[in-house]
Amino acid sequence: MSSDEEDNAHGHMIVWPLERLGRVMRAREHEGGLNPAQWEALRFLARANRFSDSPSALTRYLGATKGTISQTLMALERKGYIAKAARAGGRKSLRLSLTEKGREALSRDPWADIARSIDALGGKTRRRLHRGLDEVLDAELKRADLASFGVCTTCRFFREKGSTGQTPGPHFCMLFEDGLTEQDSVLICIAHAAAH
Ligand code: SF4
């Protein structure tokens, strides 16, 4: 991008492609027997950690009503994309997980095409886009008073290599007082609190 183009890259010039992209992708999310809300639920379950794989966490993540989420989950279960199970320790909330069919559906996620287009951008452009979008999303989540759902590595309760030889490990969550694997540490969490 030339310096002239950079000077003209005002907010409204960037909002326009974002808005259009959102609309184009919503239309594509009606392909393959799913709808946009069902795609969002499948993506959430692929990214959520074990403290966040519940209907109530999904409700908070999407900022939707309980009724809408319940209908979405019922449809996904009926079609065989997700499974519900009781939570260990007799806790009331259900545990949601993707079935093989759910995982296979995600390999056809229309947003994967956007990820590939972004991968094709230069490294510097990609890093700037990542940082800029993160900042805009963060500001909007604060304005709407929605939970951040960030990953452990950016959370104030995360203690790197803090799990003193126990399983899971090597990391530790001070809030849930439980160990975290390397893989856990890059999943999203309902209780995430940004480290400052
Ligand atoms: S460290 Fe933070 S993000 Fe990770 S499990 Fe604990 S509360 Fe959740």
Distances (CA, A) of 18 to 40, 63, 185, 195: 18, 20, 29, 28
**Atom 4, ligand 1: which residue's CA is nearest?**
152
Q: 178 in ligand 1 pocket by Cβ < 6 Å?
A: no
Phi, psi of 179 (to 5 degrees): -75, 160
pLDDT band for 3, please (50, 70, 90 cuts): low
Q: 155 in ligand 1 pocket by Cβ < 6 Å?
A: yes
Q: pTM for this one? A: 0.90
Phi, psi of 84 (to 5 degrees): -115, 145
pLDDT 10s digits, 57-90: 999 999 889 999 999 999 999 999 999 999 877 6
pLDDT 10s digits, 93-128: 899 999 999 999 999 999 999 999 999 998 999 999
Per-domain residue ranges for the chain? 30-120, 152-186
CATH topology of domain 30-120: Arc Repressor Mutant, subunit A (1.10.10)
